[in-house]
Amino acid sequence: MAKVILINGSPRADQCTATALEEMIKTFNEEGIETELIHIGNKNIRGCAACGYCYTHDGCVFNDIVNEVNAKLEKADGLVVGSPVYYSSPNGTLISFLDRLFYSAQYDMHMKVGAGVVSARRGGTTASFDVLNKYFSISGMPIATSTYWNNVHGFTAEDVKKDEEGLQVMRNLARNMAFMIKAIADAKEKYGMPKVEHDSFTSFPDGK
């Protein structure tokens, strides 16, 4: 069975961001997709130290939840990352988590389906949404979309439950993501995976 990992980057495990992700989980279950929700927003997660340890070892030098999720994501077919808005950006703990997660992965994320989900009382959602999408797009991950940008609005979980359009966006997003995961699996069996080139690396150390 196909599986999606959902990351809750909010320090509050059962509030606005969680409400959006739970709406997706219900739809994924209806679509026959296995899910695992992982709450990282209240963890003590430091940023990348640029030490290079992950070049020659399996995982990050800081052996915490980042390495735990990396092992799970390797076997998964999709990743949903949910975040509240902090100053028109995803929460800092989540950014540290994602930097290390994506940088230290020793496997190819190519063709795993990704989706960002953002929660705010009012503004900053699209800016935060763009930040999350950068992690997917640099990794060759198809980005699932919906019928609006993937955000919900509210100051509390009860507020989000009143955001009928936002919850609709979450359901449509999960359905689209489930479809993409199934379609990619079918295409992989029929055609194989696309060729990926890694030979060229832009660098001009001699100023040329």
Residue 52 located in a structural domain: yes
Q: Which residues contact 158 (CB under 8 A, 6 or more apart)?
A: none
- Give me the pLDDT at residue 205, please: 74
- Give me the pLDDT at residue 139, please: 97
Residue 205 located in a structural domain: no
In the predicted model, residues of the chain with pLDDT beneath 50 are none
- Give me the pLDDT at residue 204, please: 81
DSSP 160-195: HHH-HHHHHHHHHHHHHHHHHHHHHHHHHHHH-PPP
- Give me the pLDDT at residue 198, please: 87
User: Could you tell me the pTM of the whole model?
Assistant: 0.95
CATH number (domain holding residue 85) = 3.40.50.360
- Give me the pLDDT at residue 61, please: 96
Count how many Cα atoms sit within 13 Å of the Cα of residue 148 in the half-sphere of its side chain: 14
User: Which backbone phi and psi does 191 adopt, to 5 degrees?
Assistant: -115, -15
Residue 207 located in a structural domain: no
Residue 204 located in a structural domain: no
* Helix or strand (DSSP H, E) at 127: helix 125-137
Residue 197 located in a structural domain: no
Q: Cβ(116)–Cβ(145) under 8 Å?
A: no
Q: Residues of the chain with pLDDT > 90: what percent? A: 94
Residue 26 located in a structural domain: yes
Number of independent structural domains in the chain = 1
Residues spanned by the domain of 166: 3-191
- Give me the pLDDT at residue 206, please: 72
Question: To 5 degrees, how large is the angle CA 135–CA 139–CA 140?
Answer: 125
Residue 201 located in a structural domain: no
Residue 106 located in a structural domain: yes
In this structure, the strands spanning 151-153 and 113-120 are: parallel
Q: Which burial class, exposed, middle or buried, applies to 37 when counting CB atoms under 10 A from its CB (0-12, 13-18, 19+)? A: middle
